[in-house]
């Protein structure tokens, strides 16, 4: 088995202690009391990582359901009546899957404490699959919003909403990398409940609801995009800066200097820059030709980098300045944008996206499987069993 981390690096997990701060009223007064009750239904022999993985499977299932019924996001679009709409019962099934995924994600840590099987592997496994769910969840609800209707719902809105979710997730772990404490964003549970509401209304009232204008020229989707952007760049980012600034003082210095402290955001920023450039300046409008894979490949690259940031934080090591996957990505996008049009044909650009998406997905899966095995071996714990787990 290929090894991604040295024994010395993995020993950093031995001294790791989980520190998180959750001040959201919704989490404190609603979600946690609910999860405290639900976790009592889980049998004591059930490993927390099994709950995490089951929640991940449910989130991935919603993504795959929309892949099957609505690959190009036209099923809910009034401008494409030739595409069969998704039945209301499908949205209700997706509601159940989404709620189940959210609940399992909420109780896995409580199950670990309840069974005294907590380990750093559990946190990494939880946050690692969450990093990939950041693309599963928004892409699934885009099928409810529809594409290319009069006011909003196009590839630009999809790109913006997806990146707002990426940005929020990255900020939380950037804070933790610099402050050694995870500040759980207030909007996390609120956003997941909002997605559940989208499924509920789509299955009960119908997807036509999302194309209605709230005000002339602005549909529900357009207003939602504006709200999400405002929440991220006006609320989330300043709060993150303040949390880090509070730690950065002569008395309480950050673990890393300014440049090293900014390192976790470099790959994210470059991914945002080059993916957005590809979206707007593609010679063949690649995002319109293949919107699902265009969003998917970004999600894989994002998850690949954030997993490495999480591991660096947990092992008290510096994160690699640039994720290796970004080098071929930057080269690929640059070539597709600057080579002559007679070379960059639509079939070439499309096939390049297909091949690159396949390769980075396989590379990320290999990384995830190998790293989980490495950490489990280093900590002498079992991934999906409590019997061999080290009691904390």
Active site (catalytic) residues: 127
C-alpha–C-alpha distance, residues 268 and 264, integer Å: 7
Residue whose entry in the numeric block shows the structure tokens 């489990």: 376
Residue whose entry in the numeric block shows the structure tokens 């006006």: 234
- Report which DSSP code applies to 87: P
Q: How far is CA 114 from the centre of its chain?
A: 27
Cα angle 274-337-139, degrees, rounded to a multiple of 5: 45
SS3 content of the chain, % helix, strand, coil (to 5): 70, 0, 25
C-alpha–C-alpha distance, residues 38 and 29, integer Å: 15
- Report which DSSP code applies to 28: I
3-state secondary structure of 252: coil
CA–CA distances in Å: residue 158 to residues 25, 116, 161? 29, 41, 5
CA–CA distances in Å: residue 362 to residues 55, 192, 251? 21, 28, 45
- φ/ψ of 24, rounded to 5, equals -70, 125
């Amino acid at each position: 088995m290929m090894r991604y981390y040295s024994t010395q690096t993995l020993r950093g997990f031995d001294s790791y202690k989980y520190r998180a701060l959750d001040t959201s009223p919704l989490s404190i007064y609603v979600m946690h009391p609910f999860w405290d009750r639900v976790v009592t239904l889980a049998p004591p022999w059930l490993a927390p990582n099994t709950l995490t993985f089951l929640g991940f499977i449910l989130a991935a299932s919603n993504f795959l359901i929309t892949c099957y019924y609505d690959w190009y996001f036209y099923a809910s679009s009034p401008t494409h009546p030739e595409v069969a709409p998704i039945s209301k019962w499908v949205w209700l099934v997706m509601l159940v899957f989404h709620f189940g995924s959210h609940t399992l994600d909420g109780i896995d840590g409580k199950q670990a404490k309840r069974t005294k099987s907590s380990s750093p592997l559990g946190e990494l496994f939880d946050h690692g699959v969450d990093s990939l769910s950041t693309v599963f969840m928004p892409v699934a609800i885009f099928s409810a919003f529809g594409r290319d209707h009069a006011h909003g719902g196009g590839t630009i809105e999809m790109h913006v909403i997806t990146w707002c979710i990426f940005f929020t997730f990255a900020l939380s772990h950037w804070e933790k990398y610099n402050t050694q404490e995870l500040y759980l964003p207030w909007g996390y549970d609120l956003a997941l409940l909002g997605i559940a509401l989208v499924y509920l209304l789509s299955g009960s009232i119908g997807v036509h609801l999302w194309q209605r204008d709230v005000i002339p020229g602005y549909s529900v989707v357009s207003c939602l995009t504006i709200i999400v952007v405002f929440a991220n760049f006006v609320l989330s980012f300043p709060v993150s800066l303040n949390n880090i600034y509070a730690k950065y003082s002569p008395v309480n210095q950050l673990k890393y200097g300014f440049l090293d402290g900014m390192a976790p955001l470099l790959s994210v920023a470059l991914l945002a820059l080059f993916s957005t450039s590809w979206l707007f300046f593609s010679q063949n409008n690649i995002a319109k030709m293949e919107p699902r894979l265009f969003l998917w490949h970004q999600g894989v690259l994002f998850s690949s980098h954030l997993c490495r940031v999480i591991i660096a934080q947990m092992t008290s090591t510096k994160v690699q300045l640039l994720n290796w996957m970004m080098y071929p990505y930057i080269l690929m996008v640059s070539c597709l944008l600057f080579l002559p049009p007679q070379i960059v044909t639509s079939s070439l650009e499309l096939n390049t996206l297909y091949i690159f998406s396949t390769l980075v997905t396989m590379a990320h899966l290999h990384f995830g499987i190998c790293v989980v095995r490495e950490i489990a071996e280093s900590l002498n714990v079992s991934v999906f069993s409590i019997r061999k787990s080290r009691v904390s």
